[in-house]
Amino acid sequence: MSSSNMKTITVIGSGLIGRSWAMVFISGGYSVRIYDNQSGQAANAITEIKKQLGELEEAHMLRGELTATQQLALLSSYDDLAQALEGAFFVQECVFEKLEVKQSVFQDIERLVGKDVILSSSTSCLVPSDVFSKVQNRSRCIVSHPVNPPYYVKLVELVPHPETAGPVMDSTHTLMTKVGQAPVCLKKEIDGFALNRVQAAIIAESWRLVQDGIISVKDIDLVMSEGLGMRYAFIGPMETMHLNAPEGLEDYMQRYGVGIQRVLNSFGPVPDFFGKEAKGIINEMSELIPSDQQHLTERKERRDRLLMSLAKLKKDN
Ligand SMILES: NC(=O)c1ccc[n+]([C@@H]2O[C@H](COP(=O)([O-])OP(=O)(O)OC[C@H]3O[C@@H](n4cnc5c(N)ncnc54)[C@H](O)[C@@H]3O)[C@@H](O)[C@H]2O)c1
Ligand SMILES: *[C@@H]1O[C@H](CO)[C@@H](O)[C@H](O)[C@H]1NC(C)=O
Ligand SMILES: *[C@@H]1O[C@H](CO)[C@@H](O)[C@H](O)[C@H]1NC(C)=O
């Protein structure tokens, strides 16, 4: 089992995220071996990816330097874990979001790979110290949390286990950059990582404003889509502040810091997302976009079309 050439990556689990990772890695010229424990599933994934690569090439949205045919040739599928892991220097796990499942998958993987192989998990909600608790050598373990769909939304949160070795973090960062993703490093693990914690803060205040009768569901969404979100697709909250005062961030805080603290002190408690009052918000949303498959699919397709254009806009600027 050689892991010396650094050109082969194994993807474990070939659902939505496993397929996306496979597409991202082959776009960067890596060979990808896909494994799924449901027999035939990894092979189905390749059929599905083939179709998507063709569509992307047609739309001039294919990532990387290689043609769709060249990228497809880098893919192979396995129903046997040991075979799937042969020659890999990096393993990206994408199985069900269940702690016991991930723990046992990593135990199995560790037995089959060389000591320098990096073990990476796609988990969105579990912390590394739980996911990797059954691995012997945890210094080689890391969470690489993607955002759906990773092909257009490039952020990857790299979250270390308390024992993760510095070079493992660095190599993962280098790999993600090479394949065109946008990796960020958390210095320590924390529940929700960075993205979901910021998202939770936005959800909480939006929910409270609607629940308290301050604004409608429709209008709070416009506050983001026509206001904050316009900038946030290109610059984050820190740069936004830095650019919004004549002399930068310190000046911004001199002018607005106390006001922001006053507003923060008026924030309410964690909202109730389940009770009778929540029902009102849910109904208001469903009146705007009915929750049946047809309406939801229409809006999802619109979202993905716009994401694709936005990704193109960002790439060209
Ligand atoms: N869907 C998202 O938006 C999203 C975003 C970021 C991260 N993630 C994370 O990615 C992971 C995968 O999510 P998904 O949406 O692709 O799920 P999914 O249900 O679409 O796919 C999971 C795949 O794993 C396979 N699998 C299950 N147990 C296995 C095992 N023991 N060995 C091998 N294969 C196994 C299943 O057959 C299935 O094909 C989860 O940890 C999830 O939290 C998901
Ligand atoms: C695949 O693994 C999951 C989680 O470990 C398990 O629930 C499922 O039954 C397995 N499927 C097969 C076909 O073995
Ligand atoms: C543990 O993993 C690190 C990082 O991959 C590796 O350098 C080291 O040799 C491993 N140690 C053992 C005992 O296998």
Domains by residue range for the chain, with CATH: 3-185 (3.40.50.720), 195-234+272-316 (1.10.1040.10)
168 lines ligand 3 (CB under 6 A): yes
pLDDT at 156 over 70: yes
Q: What is the pLDDT of residue 5?
A: 74
Q: How far is the CA of 36 from the centre of ligand 2 (A)?
A: 9
How many angstroms separate the alpha carbon of residue 102 from the centre of ligand 1? 10
Q: Candidates 78, 124, 130: which one to mutate for ligand 1, based on the most atoms within 8 Å of Cβ?
A: 124
Residue to substitute in 12, 38, 96, 99 for testing ligand 2 pocket (most ligand atoms within 8 angstroms of CB): 38
The 10s digit of each residue's pLDDT in 285-297 is: 999 999 999 999 9
Task: State whether the beta carbon of 244 lies less than 6 angstroms from ligand 3.
Answer: no
What pLDDT does 266 receive?
97
**Each residue's pLDDT tens digit, 193-212:** 999 999 999 999 999 999 99
Q: Label residue 2 by pLDDT band (50, 70, 90).
A: very low
Residue 3 has a pLDDT of 42
Q: pLDDT tens digit string along 28-48?
A: 999 999 999 999 999 999 999
pLDDT of 117 reads: 98
Separation of CA 207 and ligand 1 centre (Å): 29
Protein residue with its CA nearest to atom 13 in ligand 3:
137
- Ligand 1 neighbours by CB, cut-off 6 Å: 12-18, 36-38, 41, 94-97, 101, 105, 122-124, 145-146, 148
pLDDT digit string, tens, across residues 239-284: 999 999 999 999 999 999 999 999 999 999 999 999 998 999 999 9
Q: What is the pLDDT of residue 1?
A: 41
Q: What is the pLDDT of residue 6?
A: 87
Atom of ligand 1 nearest to the CA of 20: 16
The DSSP string of the chain is ----S--EEEEE--SHHHHHHHHHHHHTT-EEEEE-SSTTHHHHHHHHHHHHHHHHHHTT---SSS-HHHHHTTEEEES-HHHHHTT-SEEEE---S-HHHHHHHHHHHHHHS-TT-EEEE--SSS-HHHHTTT-S-GGGEEEEEE-SSTTT--EEEEEE-TT--HHHHHHHHHHHHHTT-EEEE-SS--TTTTHHHHHHHHHHHHHHHHHTTSS-HHHHHHIIIIIIHHHHTTS-HHHHHHHSSTT-HHHHHHHHHHHHHHHHHT--SPPPSSSHHHHHHHHHHHHHS-SSHHHHHHHHHHHHHHHHHHHHHHHT-
**Per-residue pLDDT at 4 exceeds 80:** no
pLDDT digits (tens, 9 = 90+) for 169-180: 999 999 999 999
